[in-house]
Amino acid sequence: MSIVTKFRLGRLGRRSLVVVVAAAVIALAANTFLPYRQYLDQGRSIEQAKQELFELEQRRSDLETRLERAQDKTIIKREARKQMSLVEPGDELFRVVVPADVINLPRGWYLPGIEYLITGKSE
């Protein structure tokens, strides 16, 4: 005597089975494509990092060039003349005097004597 039981699904059972299988397929597909999306995101961040590295290397090269130029005595002298009004023996110094009412320096001006240099008058 063998007992064989047939498994039957009713109309509601078939729909439930289809929904469960569909949900499992969707979950499996999402689980499969999620690492692919992360892979693409990592590729983008690698490209951004490469671009940033390129820009930093370029900036470093520019700074090294400026450092080399800054050690040249003629460039140092030229910049000192231009930025700090370096005067060498034998040079003539000319000063442009601006009337006091033309220039209004802000309060708490941080360079002492600047008003005298510009206007020719001290307070």
Cα torsion angle, 56, 58, 59, 64, sign: positive
pLDDT exceeds 70 at position 103: no
pLDDT exceeds 70 at position 81: yes
Q: What is the DSSP string of 90-115?
A: T---------TTT--PPTT-SSTTHH
Question: pLDDT for 24-71, tens place per residue?
Answer: 888 888 777 777 777 778 888 889 999 999 999 999 999 999 888 888
Q: Collect all residues with Cβ–Cβ distance below 8 Å to 121 and sequence separation of at least 6.
A: 100, 115
Which of 78-82, 98-102, 108-112 holds the top average pLDDT? 78-82
Range with lowest mean pLDDT among 17-31, 36-50, 66-80, 105-119: 105-119
String of b and e for 10-20 (b: at least 16 CB within 10 Å)? eeeeeeeeeee
User: Residue 120 gets which letter from DSSP?
Assistant: S
pTM score of the predicted model: 0.40
